[in-house]
Structure 1
Amino acid sequence: MAEEKMARIAREIYENVGGEKNVRKVIHCMTRVRMTIIDNSKVNMAGLKAIDGVMGIVEDETLQVVVGPGTVNKVAKKMVDMVGVKLGETFPNSEGLSFEEQTLANKAAAKAKYNKPSKLKSVLKSISNIFVPMIPAFVGTGLVAGISAVLSNMVLAGDLNAATWQQYIDIMNILKNALFAYLTIYVGINAANEFGATPTLGGVIGGVVMLNGMNPESPIKNIFTGQPLSAGQGGMLGVLLAVWLLSIIEKKLHEMVPESVDIIVTPTISLILIGLLEIFLIMPLAGFVSDNLIGGINGILNIGGAFSGFVLGIAFLPMVMLGLHQILGPIHLEMIAKTGQTNLLPILAMAGAGQVGAALAIWAKLRKDRTLVQNIKGALPVGILGVGEPLIYGVTLPMGRPFITACIGGGIGGAIIGFFGNVGAIAPGPSGVALISLIAHGKWLVYVLGLLGAYAGGFLATYFFGIPKDAKIKADNYGQEVQMETLQPTLRVVTTPAFEAATVYAPMSGTVKELSEVADEVFSSGMLGKGIAIEPSNGQINSPVDGIVTTVFPTKHAIGVTSDEGVEILIHIGMDTVALNGEGFESFVKQNERVKKGDLMLRVDLDKIKAAGLSAITPIVVTNSSAYKAISVAAKNKVDKGQVLLTIEP
């Protein structure tokens, strides 16, 4: 019977909006079906409002039909199933293929397009979210660093006068170091935002690897070797691991520590625990590997030839990711002191050239993805000049396979230089074309051949073997709105007992507002039921009753709870927060889970809501209000979580 009702509502909605062919796409939020209409003149508003089961209509950028929580996802699912597409996917039209043929094609495309993401994809997406926002800074400072490197190399080679140019080079180095000298701090802040930790604490954890404040006369020792720790050991991956652990510790402490002392206790304990772990385990582990890496590098160099060039060219970028490249500086200097040149640097420089080739292949293969192409356009110039971070962290690494094929390109370039042999640089410097002026004994042509080989190798390996299928599908469908996940709640039937009065307690602390003050007609008009709103002062949402969690929306911005007395309560955190797609929201309960009054159900980052320009005001609505004689607001002005908020008379 319920299934028939959902199908009827879906069918009647289509009948009153001009049919399926007048709808561009369908999505839904917690309470309403949202349709993108092609021709608004075909919509019968009176007919929509008259549908049994429709609570109201909101006309906005999309036509919103309010059917209530627990019903909305079923109706929306029926609507897209009737057409043969997924939620959020553009409806087929009459152009080209027939409606039925287009429907079948859409089904096949949707099946391939919306595969369940793997854990690896989730990790790579997180890395992308951390580093992509930094691309403008990488590009700007990277170009400055590249120009500085070219000028510095020309000064070292004697082509420019140091007295004239050195001050300008110093200024550019100051600008460059504003990012690269403190890169781990920026990464720590972004990683904390991504993992749900406090951003400033993430910055502190990122800064720990710099070892500022360590007593040089009594340095902290590597627990594996007994040697002093070196700044930078652990690299970016060490920072990411430490901040991820910070997010776990911080969340657990928020649950355990009383709110009155949470601001003092949680950050202090979190920093101490993660800081000790980072200094005494993560950094020493990286240091242990780097110390033993010298013997491996020397062994490979002794073998010589194309093989050693290939191995070193492939291995360099993974070394950078682990921060192990820090140990190479002394090796370069030792080689220069003994032989007048470092033969290692030109080979390792090929790794960056492989990234350039890979990026060009991605551009060619995924050129329809305009966002990705823009990132590549910004990162390529600095990559050619030898600054690889924008390409690594903004393009190849988040995609996974292109990072590997880029390393293969670096190996090919290294093999070319190793084959000719005795190609060295007279001073340490960046890679890419900026190193050409430092190549010793006029062998710059061999170095250029290596660069071209790495470009070509990275391009071909990536073009034919390095493009992930999901990235290709995304590019081919660029501009189409990604579907919203659906949730099919199996609402637990609760027998309403006789009661004299039921109580709904405040799920959060904050300022009490009338529903009429909410800037959304669905709530302010009482369309969904009677209740109250709270402007929250913190991001913890607790259960307002003893009962059952009936609905947790996939984006976690709304939750439904049914009390033991049968009172159905909807808590909707913020306005239009469905657009955040779950970012800043964390759920601690599942659908059909039993909760007690005061149990933590959700946590939300209020700063993230405000940063997105959205309101955090939270309606708490009794959606089955019509079943009760009266619903009274007990709280006034300010309310603390756990205080009486609403009283219900049967």
Structure 2
Amino acid sequence: MIYQKLNETIIQLVGGKENIQAVVHCMTRLRFTLKDRSKAKTEELKNVDGVIDVVSNNVAYQVIIGTHVNEVHAELVSMLGINPTTDSNQATKEKKHPLKAMLDLVSETMTPVIEPIIASGLLAGFLSLFTITGVLSEESPTYILLNSIREAVFFFLPILIAMSCAKRLKASPYLAVALAATLVSTSINGVAELSIFGISLPQTTYANSFIPIILAVWFMGHLTTFLNKYIPKFLHYFLNPVLIMVICLPVTLLLFGPIGIWIGDGIGLLFKLLMDTFGSWIVVMLYAAFQPFLIMLGAGNFMMPLALNFVNEMGYDPIFLAAATISDLAVAGAMLGYFLRAKESKQKQLFGTVSFSALMGVTEPAIYGAFIKYRRPFIAVMIGGGLGGLFAGLMNVKTYSIVWGLMGLPSYAQNQDFSNLIFMVIAVLIAFIGAAVSAYILGIPETNTAKNEEETFSEETALEKESTFAKKLTLQPVAKGELVQLADIKDQAFSTGALGKGIGIIPSTSEVVSPVDGEVTVVFPTKHAIGIQTKEGVEILIHIGVDTVELDGTYFDTIVQPGDKVKKGQLLATVDFDGLKKEGYDTTIIVVITNTTDYLDVIPAIHEKLVLNDEMVTIVF
């Protein structure tokens, strides 16, 4: 838990665990879906050590961390008790505008897929460099084997897309992958004169595509929900998977495949019309100039499907990938200009670090760490990136592989197109130098650093003082008996602490009483478990016996109902523990705090014997 302190502070300042509906991440940002954004203390969060910046907009509540965000996110979801694979499903419960929901889906789906795409794109760049220098020939076994990585990533792109978007669309990722694999199989992909149920199928190439599988998985998610509702539960495991596959495949072949291809062709025709009408140079110039604004809005990945569509249709991308690289180098140049202009060592360190990161194709640290704060670098990138994009557009620069950034430049010489590489190098130099000179001339606005540091110090001091007055809540035993530590319980879900910290009691009486004042939130139909919540929000689960759910209420007489207010020591249930023993069941009563992670600590008692006036568990908060 390297980032535990950072995550604890983030959780506190976004309004607490109960205010977090979902959290995902991209390359540098934690993207929160908050139930109530007004509870978030954005300005305080911006001053936290380890947080580059905070951006709250219509896309998401974004906390900018840096390129190590993956590790921070992993610890964060662990502390929150959230399953990261179902995280986005929870976020989809929030009602969104359909267009915004679609943009979010595409952007979030492409984020995890970018990793293999970057790998294959950079590999293509290096292979081009090796063939240019004569290190490898395109006919050599080494070249063929390494090139197969690049080819496989894009050929099987529908499989990667299916895995990435399945959970977001409430579909089984394994069934989604099985469907995608079927579509790219030699029996279907690009095969003519196919038919199903006597209906002729259009010839469709699914390899390298992305829209058909997204539509298919969307349909699969809705079909899964429908079947889960109307198919008897005991048949779900056996019947639902085969029904899902048998229904989804023909629907995809008849409907979503052609629609997806038409949409892809339509996107291509739209941009072709723009290029034919205005010239490709203006589109490249505008994208290179304004890409930082798209990244700031969380829409930076949306250009990826468009670029993929161009490469699939034309064999190269005439707009987005070259413009993205030019823009990244312009960002690096702007930060170099600020590095040369800065006088404070802390500023130089910041500008130097984010400049190098942008040079490698990751611009978020620069945009959120410096651009938003100083604003003038946006103008520098518009000047430098716009000039570089203008030159690339006029020279008709082509991007043959899905790659961007400095390391991808060798790929522009693919197909022995050396003039294409030269024009691209000139374009990025124009962007880099133009942005660096512009940023240096524009200068660094003065900031009231001393005041900010003083305010931060005051806030930290106040938080430290507040934390010294920790509160606690004690739980009395739910029954007289012998104490058992949770690790010794013969039930893995409880003994591992997966359900929260707590304690066990081997009862010596038949009565089970309330450990606190609170409200009964749940009484299981089998009467073996009762949930209580206190006014402080502590959630307590009282589980009577191990595996006693199998008895379906036999030997249990529950006194309370959900919604009842109870006092400490009030009778909840009477249990025939002797009957349980005769049936061979463990009679241990298990008490756990199911929202343990909300509190500083949950401390079980260490007495060997417990009576009703003892302290069974202490919650510190």
Query: Shorter-normalised TM-score: what interval?
Result: 0.3 to 0.5
TM-score by length of 2: 0.46
